[in-house]
Amino acid sequence: MRANAFDDLSPRERPTRLWVSRAGGLKEAVTVAVTTTLAMFLVTAPDSAAAATEPGPRWARLATSEVAEDPEVARVIVKYRADSPLRRVQSTPSPEGAGTTPAPRHATRLSQTLRAPLSDGRVLGPHTQALRGQGLSSSELARRLSSLPDVEWAVVDERRRIHNLPNDTLFADNQRTATPAVGQWYLRAPNGQAASAINAVGAWSTTMGTASVVVAVLDTGVRPEHPDLQGKLHPGYDFISLDRSGAATTANDGNGRDADPTDPGDWTNANECSPGERASASSWHGTQVAGLIGAATNNGAGMAGAGWNVMVLPLRVLGRCGGYDSDIIAAMRWAAGVSQNVGTTAVVNVANPYPARVINMSLGSQGICTAAYQEVVNELRTAGVTVVAAAGNDTGLKVSVPANCPGALAVSGVRHIGSKVGYSNIGPEVALAAPAGNCVNLQGTCLYPLLTTINLGQRQAGANGYSDGTDYTVGTSFAAPLVAASVGLMLSVDPTLTPGKIREILQATVQPFPTSRPLAGGEDPVPACRAPDTRDQLECFCTTTTCGAGMLDAGAAVARTLALRPAPQPDPGASGGGGNTGGGSGGGASGLGWLIGLLVATLALHALNRRGRRRGRNTGRLG
Ligand SMILES: [Ca+2]
Ligand SMILES: [Ca+2]
Ligand SMILES: [Ca+2]
């Protein structure tokens, strides 16, 4: 079987354009054949300049705490009406001194009114104070206070924590010179505009990932000289064998398997891959996937990778017109450390010094999960390696192989608002959904693509840059690496997590799918997704039996991982507030408990890797 990359660059796989609405004022162009005018990429020069002027701190925005609210201890902030009778009985002197309005301290009187024990907290202003209560939740106290005639408003006094925001110039919203204007929208917390954003920012409050966690990218190779991948790539390997004729037409690097996974380009001529198929420019697909997972982050330039500090192991398995299962499976086993065999016909052992705990496979084609794939998925699962695979871009048909293999973590693609994106495949095999990029409009630049690292060369490699609103990145190929990176962050918090536990946590912490969206005049209603068959299925509202358990929430998944982590929790006495508890370079509260936990976890990871390598040697000799 020949497998293809799931991107927007392979017109042979699907129609050129899919329209979500046929009514007047088309609302969504799900373009699955990218333009080939790569020379029009925009973002190149500003990065170094920005790095010089914007080396700013990574600490900035406040975020809602993941710390669970104690249901018996209520904290609220309340503002009283200026004409409240409570103010006339006020007797407490103002902390702001004579001549100012008396401080509002009404806990005693409100305790009687609400029949709940309350105590005064800080005074925030002439009419505003904090209140604490016992025996009810914060939200309940706020609700009951809000109903009183004396109260203008009452809100929960939330605990907030720092968010680690990277200073990469393309990360931010409201881009002035680059497109999409929303920057790396898909990494932020979900909001009204982008319900499917994965909340990597929330995850980074806990961990920025550790370099000991390796995510393998089985793809077209990588452009290792890309400035935003510097220091983020392990050596990897090129698993593309020579063609049967002995030629290196598929490999395109002049030889068969070799130790250099550099992507030489996968351009094709018309009719080269199949009759009637158009010529295509090089996709640089592996470079795009690698950047989403592990672009150099907080380096003041370019983009941020969802996995921040996690490392990428590039394995080259797809060349011109795709690649063969035999090479892909060999790369899966070598990446995981269960095999050292890099030979094509005879066994040639070369150890992988950087065994991966996560394998990203943004590739495949329609068909059943073959015995060959099922066996290797099972083998990797037993070895503690999570296989993340894209559902495929066949316009809502069944999930492709290998994503449909039981045990693989299949990822479907949703639009920025959370509905299924037209091109994404669906089915009961899908574990969860993640944003895959969508354009929304038919004219102008694409509004919600997944900006990432790419090369700008048409055929051979040229300058390095980023995909943008003109030459845009959309496809389930790019949803899967967001999940793979999130798994990398989870493993950074707890390296002892098994693939089964990882799936369980991811599915338990998803955001629910939306069930409706506003429709423009004359626009057809968007249906609920149905079980896939042989008919196309464009935009639809996801169900848990079609697009997975829900939408990836990396922040919640990492928080859940931290809560379940068996190792000692961070020393609660180390600081007053909730600090950064993760690995990486960020610092924050790092108690002795955390250090012990990290040590235990690191030893566990090494033991796992050693076990994997031992098993690999045995298997490799058996061929
Ligand atoms: Ca080669
Ligand atoms: Ca090579
Ligand atoms: Ca960067």
Report which of residues 14 and 106 the model is more confident about.
106
What does the alpha-carbon distance between residue 232 and residue 295 come to, in Å, rounded to a whole number?
7
For the domain 1-67+162-265+280-514+530-574, what is the CATH code? 3.40.50.200
Three-state secondary structure call for residue 335: helix
Confidence check: pLDDT of 22 > 80: no
Confidence check: pLDDT of 341 > 90: yes
Q: Return phi, psi of residue 442, to 5°.
A: -100, -20
Give the number of whichever ligand sits closest to the CA of residue 265.
Answer: 2
From 163, 226, 285, 416, active-site residue: 285
What is the side-by-side order of every strand in the sheet holding 73-80? 118-125, 128-134, 73-80, 151-156
Name the band, by pLDDT with cuts 50, 70 and 90, for residue 536: very high
What's the average model confidence in pLDDT over 343-359? 97
Give the number of whichever ligand sits closest to the CA of residue 260.
Answer: 2
Side chain identity, residue 595: L
Name the nearest CA neighbour of 362 among 8, 1, 38: 8
In angstroms, what is the span from residue 51 Cα to ligand 1's centroid?
A: 36
What does the alpha-carbon distance between residue 376 and residue 338 come to, in Å, rounded to a whole number?
10
Name the band, by pLDDT with cuts 50, 70 and 90, for residue 62: very low
In angstroms, what is the span from residue 252 Cα to ligand 2's centroid?
A: 8
Report which of residues 433 and 125 the model is more confident about.
433
What does the alpha-carbon distance between residue 35 and residue 474 come to, in Å, rounded to a whole number?
12
pLDDT digits (tens, 9 = 90+) for 66-113: 344 566 789 999 999 988 887 766 545 555 555 555 678 999 999 999
Q: What is the DSSP letter of 87?
A: H
Q: What is the predicted pLDDT for the residue at 58?
A: 31
pLDDT digits (tens, 9 = 90+) for 386-436: 999 999 999 999 999 999 999 999 999 999 999 999 999 999 999 999 999
In angstroms, what is the span from residue 385 Cα to ligand 3's centroid?
A: 27
Q: What is the predicted pLDDT for the residue at 571?
A: 53
Q: What is the predicted pLDDT for the residue at 73?
A: 85
In angstroms, what is the span from residue 314 Cα to ligand 2's centroid?
A: 11
Q: What is the predicted pLDDT for the residue at 90?
A: 55
Name the band, by pLDDT with cuts 50, 70 and 90, for residue 126: confident
* Ramachandran bin of 118, using left for φ above 0, alpha for ψ from -120 to 50, beta for the remaining angles: beta
Name the band, by pLDDT with cuts 50, 70 and 90, for residue 555: very high
pLDDT digits (tens, 9 = 90+) for 575-603: 433 333 433 333 333 334 444 545 555 55
In angstroms, what is the span from residue 243 Cα to ligand 2's centroid?
A: 14
pLDDT digits (tens, 9 = 90+) for 445-464: 999 999 999 999 999 999 99
Give the number of whichever ligand sits closest to the CA of residue 236.
Answer: 2
Domain range annotation of the chain: 1-67+162-265+280-514+530-574, 73-158
Q: What is the predicted pLDDT for the residue at 602?
A: 52
In angstroms, what is the span from residue 25 Cα to ligand 2's centroid?
A: 48
Q: Among positive and negative, which fits the CA dihedral 231, 234, 240, 242?
A: positive
Specify whether 219 is catalytic.
Answer: yes
The distance from CA 564 to its chain's CA centroid, rounded to whole angstroms, is: 21
By the 8 A CB rule, do 190 and 199 touch? Answer: yes
Q: Which residues surround ligand 2, an ion (CB under 5 A)?
A: 238, 253, 258, 260
From 412, 477, 492, 590, active-site residue: 477
By the 8 A CB rule, do 427 and 544 touch? Answer: no
Name the band, by pLDDT with cuts 50, 70 and 90, for residue 487: very high
What does the alpha-carbon distance between residue 558 and residue 582 come to, in Å, rounded to a whole number?
10
By the 8 A CB rule, do 415 and 194 touch? Answer: no
By the 8 A CB rule, do 438 and 415 touch? Answer: yes
Name the band, by pLDDT with cuts 50, 70 and 90, for residue 61: very low
Tokens linked to 197: 């954003």
What does the alpha-carbon distance between residue 462 and residue 456 come to, in Å, rounded to a whole number?
5
From 47, 157, 168, 219, active-site residue: 219
The burial class, CB within 10 Å (0-12 / 13-18 / 19+), for 247 is exposed
Q: What is the DSSP letter of 522?
A: T
Percent of the chain with pLDDT over 90: 71
Percent of the chain with pLDDT over 70: 77
Q: What is the predicted pLDDT for the residue at 94?
A: 53
Confidence check: pLDDT of 503 > 60: yes
Side chain identity, residue 58: R
Q: Among positive and negative, which fits the CA dihedral 564, 190, 361, 237?
A: negative
In angstroms, what is the span from residue 319 Cα to ligand 2's centroid?
A: 10
Tell whether pTM > 0.85. no
Give the number of whichever ligand sits closest to the CA of residue 256.
Answer: 1
Most confident of 33-37, 89-93, 146-150, 285-289: 285-289
Give the number of whichever ligand sits closest to the CA of residue 264.
Answer: 2
Rg (CA), the chain: 26
Specify whether 285 is catalytic.
Answer: yes
Specify whether 477 is catalytic.
Answer: yes
Give the number of whichever ligand sits closest to the CA of residue 323.
Answer: 1
Report which of residues 528 and 59 the model is more confident about.
528
Q: Which residues surround ligand 3, an ion (CB under 5 A)?
A: 168, 228, 296, 299, 302
What's the average model confidence in pLDDT over 100-129? 89
In angstroms, what is the span from residue 279 Cα to ligand 1's centroid?
A: 22
In angstroms, what is the span from residue 183 Cα to ligand 3's centroid?
A: 12
Name the band, by pLDDT with cuts 50, 70 and 90, for residue 137: confident
Q: What is the DSSP letter of 94?
A: P
In angstroms, what is the span from residue 311 Cα to ligand 3's centroid?
A: 14
pLDDT digits (tens, 9 = 90+) for 159-182: 776 668 999 999 999 999 999 999
Q: What is the predicted pLDDT for the residue at 520?
A: 86
Confidence check: pLDDT of 382 > 60: yes
Q: What is the predicted pLDDT for the residue at 599?
A: 55
Confidence check: pLDDT of 558 > 70: yes
Q: What is the predicted pLDDT for the residue at 436?
A: 98
By the 8 A CB rule, do 5 and 32 touch? Answer: no
In angstroms, what is the span from residue 315 Cα to ligand 2's centroid?
A: 10
Range with lowest mean pLDDT among 133-137, 302-306, 330-334, 492-496: 133-137
